[in-house]
Amino acid sequence: MPFLIYLNFAIVLPIGLFQNGVWRLALLAIFAAWIGARARCGAMKAMEQRLADAGAFAQLALFGAVPLAVFAISLASPNKVRIWEALVVAFMVAAAVWRNHRSGPLSGKTSRLVGAVILLALSVPALNLLSGILVPKLSDVATRRWMPC
């Protein structure tokens, strides 16, 4: 469950709305409060217990909504890589929820799912690297000396 919250945060932070300092501060503050509270606060544990009890479909709806919303927003965005990232995160949410509701060690269907998760996860940095090479967008001062003016 904490990983699903992390994935939701990671996929939603870079979208346009949260480039605004006030919205960004609000999201970061909520996320920081969650990190701080989850280790010690009993209420957080109770909330996680309620989420665990809610069942697979409720968890899918709750944690799949953000990546699917980012997917929908990204369809109109010039950054097409984000479309793939959102789909991969949606798949990982589904895989994590499915795995949470299965018991036993990694074997058979589960190990094939793990292979798919790793392959899809690797596709995100690979696609970004390819995008950075094909459409150069180096933007750091570290490379400015080398960039044409």
What is the binding site for another protein (CB under 8 A)?
A: 1-3, 6-7, 10-11, 13-14, 19-22, 24-25, 28-29, 31-32, 35-36, 39, 45, 48-49, 52-53, 55, 81-82, 85, 88-89, 92, 96, 100-103, 106, 114, 117-118, 120-122, 124-125, 127-129, 131-133, 136-147
Tokens representing 35 are 């990190």
CB closer to another protein, 108 vs 125: 125
CA distances from 75 to 59, 91, 105, 118, 129 (A): 25, 17, 38, 25, 20
- Least distance (Å) from another protein to the CB of residue 22? 5
Say if CB 70 and CB 15 are below 8 A apart. Answer: yes
Nearer Cβ to another protein, position 42 or 76?
42
Q: State both tokens at 99.
A: 């795995």
Min dist. Cβ of residue 131 to another protein (A): 5
Q: What sign does the CA torsion over 80, 85, 86, 91 have?
A: positive
Least Å from the CB of residue 67 to another protein: 10
d(CA 62, CA 55): 11
What is the Cα–Cα distance from 116 to 11, expressed in whole angstroms? Answer: 20
**Shortest distance, position 143 Cβ to another protein, whole Å:** 5
Helix, strand and coil content of the chain, in percent to the nearest 5, comes to 80, 0, 20
How far apart are CB 75 and another protein at their closest, in Å? Answer: 16
Q: Which is nearer to another protein, 69 or 128 (CB)?
A: 128
- For another protein, the closer CB: 75 or 118: 118
